[in-house]
Amino acid sequence: MRRQGSLFFQTLGDTGGTILVALLLAAAVLVPILNGLPASSPFHVSNYLVSLFGKYLCFALLALSVDLIWGFAGILSLGHGAFFALGGYAMGMHLMREIGTRGVYGNPVLPDFMVFLNWKELPWYWYGFDSFPFAALMAVLMPGALAFVFGWFAFRSRVTGVYLSIITQALTFALMLAFFRNNFGFGGNNGLTDFKDILGYSLQAPTTRVTLFAASALALALGYVLCRFLVSSRLGSVLIAVRDAESRTRFLGYRVEHYKLFAFVVSAMLAGIAGALYVPQVGIINPREFAPANSIEIVIWVAVGGRGTLWGAALGAVLVNYGKTYFTGALPEMWLYVLGALFIGVTLFLPKGVGGSAREWIGKLMARATKAKLALAPQPGVTE
């Protein structure tokens, strides 16, 4: 191959990625089997763990989507929780419709909260959500559409860096306020909950939960492959160019805003998928998912795992969330200290994250062998 340097980056990227994809596929197959074992077996995976790790996988997909734009295009979105939540709401709306007459008020069409608010008919934007394929499509399209509109305005006007970060934060903050309103038609403060089943299977059933887990693992694996494909193409190369020297990229003739918009929309759609998979597993979606603090937390998962590595982002999401589960259970007072220290420590001492640093160490080892080749260069060989 002609590109040794980038090859070694790609292989390393791919080593991590290959391990990740292999692990995910193995988990998608093994976890359902192990979950099916009797509880007395030492290999039994409890329902609790299935749900917990199913949730982590959704977060990992979300982190992956953030890494795609932050790690490769330099867009730090502090509002990605909004796309996640929109995907979640789309799925939640479907699950609400699925409840049917089993709700408290027994209304076959209207969800309980609408009956409670004395609404007589379904708002138009709830039409179609009784169909699962439609809801699944919306879980991808709605975040994508919002990202398209927002990104089109923002990138066209060349809003970059911290300005962009701040307005993405304002975006999710505004959405949070909107979804808190009862008359917005999404259940207000309480959000959507009390789901019964999905595609006819009870959400409480272990088989459903394990299926959702496997679906999340597959989604993450596919998401990873997609992102890897994108960043390995010349498009990925342009995105990195935009990240490192946006102005220069423009003078090479690339429409930077189009590239950013493409990456932003793809990323939002991935976040939407993550949200749609998350909601049936946790059984609730409410406006707090839009809180700006949540979106910033996603960024720290990516930072911990290693910005620009993709697989590191997924790893970081699982690590940080495992830490969160542990600390909020064992030492709830300590969690915010830990999280805060993580933010500071990673940015100060581990700017490349776990994944990036690992890659660097391996890279240094390998570079020692090829060091001679990188010697000082001669003058340009121009002759008149």
Partner 1 sequence: MVHAMVTQALGSLARALLLCAALFSGTAYAQAIEAKSIEDLVAILGAGDFTAKIDATQALATTGDPRLVPILQALLDGNLYARKSDHLVVIGKEQGGTLTATDPLAEKVIGQAPVADFERARVNNRLRTVLQTALGALQLAHPDPSRRKASADALFKTPSVEMIEPLRLAIEHEHNGTARRALVRALAATELQFSEKIDAKRAAVVTLAALADPDVRSYLNGRINSIPETANAEQQELKAAMTAAVVQIERRIASWQTFGNVLQGISLGSVLLLAAIGLAITFGVMGVINMAHGEMVMLGAYTTYVVQLAFRQYLPGGLDYALLVAVPAAFAVSGLVGVAIERGIIRWLYGRPLETLLATWGLSLMLQQAVRSFFGPTNMQVTSPSWMSGAVELTGGVVVTYNRIWIAVFALLVFGLLIFIQRRTQFGLQMRAVTQNRRMARSMGIRSGWVDALTFGLGSGIAGMAGVALSQIDNVSPNLGQGYIVDSFMVVVFGGVGNLWGTLVGAFGLGIINKFLEPYAGAVLGKILVLVAIVLFIQWRPRGLFALKGRAVEA
Partner 2 sequence: MNAHAPATAAAASILYLDDVTVSFDGFRALNKLSFYLVPGELRAVIGPNGAGKTTMMDVITGKTRPDSGEVFFAGNVDLTHLDEAAIANLGIGRKFQKPTVFETQTVDDNLRLALRDKRGVLASLFSRTSAAQAERLDELLLTIGLADQRTTLAGLLSHGQKQWLEIGMLLAQEPQLLLVDEPAAGMTDAETEATARLLRAIAKDRSVVIVEHDMEFVRALEAKVTVLHEGSVLAEGSMEHVQNHPRVIEVYLGR
**Residue 188: burial class (beta carbons within 10 Å; 0-12, 13-18, 19+):** middle
Q: In the chain, which ranges are E strands?
A: 192-193, 197-198, 201-202, 284-285
240 binds partner 1 (CB under 8 A): no
42 binds partner 2 (CB under 8 A): no
186 binds partner 1 (CB under 8 A): no
Q: Which stretch binds partner 1 (CB under 8 A): 12-20, 32-40, 175-183, 315-323?
A: 175-183
169 binds partner 1 (CB under 8 A): yes
258 binds partner 2 (CB under 8 A): yes
Strands 201-202 and 197-198: antiparallel
Q: At what angle do helices 47-73 and 234-244 cross, to 10 degrees?
A: 70
247 binds partner 2 (CB under 8 A): yes
Site residues for partner 1, 256-295, by CB under 8 A, read 292-293
**Residue 17: burial class (beta carbons within 10 Å; 0-12, 13-18, 19+):** buried
Which residues, including other chains, have CB under 8 Å from residue 75's CB and lie 6 or more apart? 69, 164, 260, 263, 264
How many residues belong to the site for partner 1 (CB under 8 A)? 43
CA 316 to chain CA mean position, Å: 12
**CA 372 vs CA 309, 366, 368: distances in Å:** 27, 12, 8
167 binds partner 1 (CB under 8 A): yes
Name the phi and psi angles at 335, rounded to 5: -60, -45
123 binds partner 1 (CB under 8 A): no
Q: Tell me the closest approach of the beta carbon of residue 235 to partner 2, in angstroms.
A: 4
Under DSSP, the state recorded for 199 is T
63 binds partner 2 (CB under 8 A): no
101 binds partner 2 (CB under 8 A): no
- Binder among 22, 37, 245, 336 for partner 2 (CB under 8 A): 245
Q: Is 221 helix (H, G, I), strand (E, B) or coil?
A: helix
Cα gap 16→358, rounded to integer Å: 10
Cross-strand partners of 192: 285
4 binds partner 2 (CB under 8 A): yes
Q: Tell me the closest approach of the beta carbon of residue 264 to partner 2, in angstroms.
A: 12
139 interacts with, out of partner 2, partner 1, none, CB within 5 to 8 A per kind: none
378 interacts with, out of partner 1, partner 2, none, CB within 5 to 8 A per kind: partner 2
Q: Which stretch binds partner 2 (CB under 8 A): 11-19, 48-56, 341-349, 374-382?
A: 374-382
Q: Tell me the closest approach of the beta carbon of residue 364 to partner 1, in angstroms.
A: 23
Which tokens sit at 361? 């160490």
Contact 281, 54 (CB under 8 A): yes
Q: Among residues 71 and 305, whose Cβ is nearest to partner 2?
A: 71
Cα gap 234→62, rounded to integer Å: 24
Which tokens sit at 248? 């220069």
Q: Which stretch binds partner 2 (CB under 8 A): 3-11, 19-27, 32-40, 197-205?
A: 3-11
240 interacts with, out of partner 2, partner 1, none, CB within 5 to 8 A per kind: partner 2
327 binds partner 1 (CB under 8 A): no
Q: How many alpha carbons lie under 13 Å from residue 226 in its C-beta half-sphere?
A: 16
368 binds partner 2 (CB under 8 A): no
Footprint of partner 1 on this chain (CB under 8 A)?
A: 76, 78, 150, 153-154, 156-159, 161-163, 165-167, 169-171, 173-174, 177-178, 180-181, 292-293, 296, 299-300, 303, 333, 336-337, 339-344, 346-348, 351
Footprint of partner 2 on this chain (CB under 8 A)?
A: 2-6, 230, 233-235, 237-238, 240-241, 244-245, 247-256, 258-259, 262, 373-374, 376-382, 384
